[in-house]
């Protein structure tokens, strides 16, 4: 989907992620994330139950708030704020 990931936290029972603006429907993004997780884990069954939370952020302070929320989960898990190299800084001018 060529999405820009601004924050990601993967935990035992759930995951959080924040993406930059996209032309894709949120339900398609969630399905892609579920499929990628299932493929990586080599599971032959669903790994998420129905439903998810979506929040559109139109103000910079709201974007920062959502990113901080996700990054704090990583810190609590003993990881860096951005544990994967593909996570981009939302101030990156190339986004």
Instruction: Give the tens place of pLDDT for each residue, 22-37.
Output: 999 988 988 888 888 7
Sign of CA dihedral 42, 48, 72, 82: positive
Q: Is 6 exposed, middle or buried (0-12, 13-18, 19+ CB in 10 A)?
A: buried
Break the chain down into helix, strand, coil percent, rounded to 5. 35, 10, 55
Summarize pLDDT for 63-83 with one digit per residue, the tens.
999 999 999 999 999 999 999
The answer to whether the predicted template modeling score (pTM) of the entire model surpasses 0.85 is no
Task: Sort residue 54 into left (φ over 0), alpha (ψ -120 to 50) or beta.
Answer: beta
């Amino acid at each position: 989907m060529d999405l820009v990931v601004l924050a990601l936290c993967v935990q035992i029972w759930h995951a959080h992620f924040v993406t930059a603006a996209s032309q894709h429907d949120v339900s398609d993004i969630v399905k892609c994330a579920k499929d990628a997780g299932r493929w990586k884990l080599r599971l032959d069954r669903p790994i998420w139950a129905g439903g998810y939370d979506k929040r559109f952020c139109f103000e910079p302070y709201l974007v920062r708030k959502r990113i901080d929320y996700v990054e704090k989960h990583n810190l609590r898990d003993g990881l860096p704020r951005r544990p994967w190299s593909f996570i981009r800084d939302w101030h990156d001018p190339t986004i």
